[in-house]
Structure 1
Amino acid sequence: MPPRWPERPTSGIIKDAQVIFTARRFAMPRLKVIDPATSEGVVKELFEGPLKQRQINIYKGLANSPAALQAYMGMAKALGTAKLGKKEQEVIQLAIAEAQGCHYCVAAHTDVGRRCKLSDEQMLGARRGRIDDDPKLNAVVRFALSMHEKRGFVSDAEIAELRKHGYADAEIAEMVASYALMIYTSTFNHVNDTVVDFPQPPGI
């Protein structure tokens, strides 16, 4: 099982997951929220281009630094051309979002996962650390969580297990990249206390 979400209440001690999620929706972020309508330079180009239809709060926070936003955009764009399937990438994102305790990331990637045709049970399974109805996706989730728990020092047997399920070296490298992207976004959201602007995901 992945670690439970850490208790990071906005005030006092909040232990109930529903209360924590609700608090996150109405908390104030720590960094300035960049308004796409008044943004400038590279940030304006991004908000009027690839981000025009998806001006969500994490992007408005990252936009405090064109370099930070471009770092995210570059990696996300590159993974869009990956051999590793969208479903595989999303179960990694969900598993590590849960392990990191990132309320924003879990909500966001539940939304993305539905658009990638993951079932609700598969998304919950990724967050719990086990997908029962798809051995290949389950192998990916287990590997992602092992990377997280072992700080990348996985065993030869774990690599062999992925290969047994048909994943080539390119796809294994892309699993690491997908993991790294979630570490970046979840850490940013913790630092910023990014306000959640997605529907609440199911509890696990």
Structure 2
Amino acid sequence: MNGFSFPTVETAPVAARETLAAVNKNFGFVPNLLSGLANSPVALHTYLGLAEQFGKTSLSPAEQQAVSISTSTENRCDYCVAAHSVLAGKSLSPSQISALRSGTPTGNSRLDAVATFTRAVVNQRGFISEDQLAAFFGAGFNRAQVLEVLVGISQKTLSNYANHLLGTPLDAAFESARWQPAEDRAA
């Protein structure tokens, strides 16, 4: 065991309690990711601040979920893939969610372009070729959206890595969308 806890609203550090109470009120529960991040109120507030800013981008809700799922699959975060698969149900079809989870075409050229671009940025650590940028722009995206994708990748990388370090257990609310990387399924 790594020694990290998943505090409740009542047991979290004082600086995180009000935030966790608001999350509980909004969602009806405190997701284990946010509970784990509450071990450091700075980490919790940074993550939520990135989430808020990513929500303000010009990317559509479906495109934002494509960034989140694609980043999380590339970073092998079973928690975030499951959570965003559930959350994406508001803006994506089940077949599109399944395609994003497996890294295959969704049938929507813009979703495919943002997912492909996101995976490339994550895997290549931001060293994107002119051809990759041209393909992203060719799908109707602009330079501001390149940077907005980075905001989403930053948010998800923080949560993906935190989940790896914390050993975050999957919440019951996300259990129906449990995921594991293909290479783990093959083993």
Do they fold alike, i.e. is TM over 0.5?
Answer: yes
CA distance in 1, matches of 2:123, 2:153: 12
Does residue 60 of the first structure (1) align with residue 60 of the second (2)? no
Report the alpha carbon displacement of residue 51 of structure 1 after superposing the two structures with TM.
4.8
| SS of match in other structure, 1:39 | coil
Q: Counterpart of 2:177? A: 201
Q: Counterpart of 1:44? A: 17
Does residue 112 of the first structure (1) align with residue 74 of the second (2)? no
Task: Specify the code of the residue in structure 2 equivalent to 1:120.
Answer: P
Task: Specify the code of the residue in structure 1 equivalent to 2:35.
Answer: K
Mean alpha-carbon deviation: is it higher for 42-51 or for 69-78?
Answer: 42-51
TM-score (norm 1): 0.80
Question: Gaps spanning 5+ residues in structure 2: where?
Answer: 183-187
Number of aligned positions between the proteins: 176
Select which of 142, 150, 158 maps to 1:168: 142
Report the alpha carbon displacement of residue 29 of structure 1 after superposing the two structures with TM.
7.0
Select which of 48, 53, 58 maps to 1:78: 53
Select which of 118, 126, 135 maps to 1:144: 118
Cα deviation code 1:77-104 (max 9, x no counterpart)? 1111111111111111112212222111
Identity %: 28
Cα deviation code 1:11-55 (max 9, x no counterpart)? xxxxxxxxxxxxxxxxx7741111113435331121223553331
Task: Specify the code of the residue in structure 2 equivalent to 1:175.
Answer: V
CA distance in 1, matches of 2:178, 2:51: 25
Cα distance change of structure 1 residues 84 and 177 upon mapping to structure 2, 3 Å threshold: same
Q: How large is the Cα RMSD of the aligned pairs?
A: 1.8
Cα distance change of structure 1 residues 134 and 29 upon mapping to structure 2, 3 Å threshold: farther
| SS of match in other structure, 1:53 | helix
Question: Gaps spanning 5+ residues in structure 1: where?
Answer: 1-27
**Runs of 4+ off more than 4 Å:** none
CA distance in 2, matches of 1:119, 1:30: 39
